């Protein structure tokens, strides 16, 4: 896909990545070496894969539960007005067929 940010902006933020900077600091102080970095990488990849496997094996959530466990459910009323349609009824919100461009 096409990025909506200029490459130089992406590069500037990557240079300030706190995870990379923290790794560099730990390496400079002799606290972290290549073996430790690889061990953490393997552990994190396994944890992420476990989460993916769990999510894929779990039943699909109910649309009514979309706003559970979030800080601000201000927009929940939009979902209350949705009917059948696309996965969350977005094709029929406010009686508008978004797929046809009738917005």
Going 85 to 90 to 94 to 96, the CA torsion angle's sign is negative
- List C-alpha distances in Å: 60 to 6, 48, 66: 37, 19, 11
Query: Domain residue spans in the chain?
Result: 7-57, 63-97
Let me know: does 101 contact 91? Beta carbons within 8 Å: no
The answer, as to whether pTM is greater than 0.95, is: no
Q: What is the pLDDT of residue 44?
A: 97
- Each residue's pLDDT, cut to its tens digit, for the chain (103 residues) gives 577 889 999 999 999 999 999 999 999 999 999 999 999 999 999 999 999 999 999 999 888 887 777 766 565 666 666 665 555 555 554 455 545 554 4
């Amino acid at each position: 896909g096409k990025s909506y940010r200029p490459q130089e902006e992406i590069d500037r933020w990557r240079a300030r990545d706190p995870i990379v900077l923290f790794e560099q600091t730990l390496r400079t102080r002799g606290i972290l070496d290549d073996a430790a970095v690889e061990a953490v990488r393997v552990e994190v990849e396994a944890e992420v894969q476990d989460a993916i496997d769990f999510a894929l094996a779990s039943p699909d959530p109910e649309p009514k539960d979309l706003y559970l466990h979030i800080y601000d459910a201000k927009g929940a009323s939009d979902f209350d007005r949705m009917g059948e349609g696309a996965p969350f009824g977005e094709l029929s919100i406010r009686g508008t067929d978004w797929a046809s461009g009738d917005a």
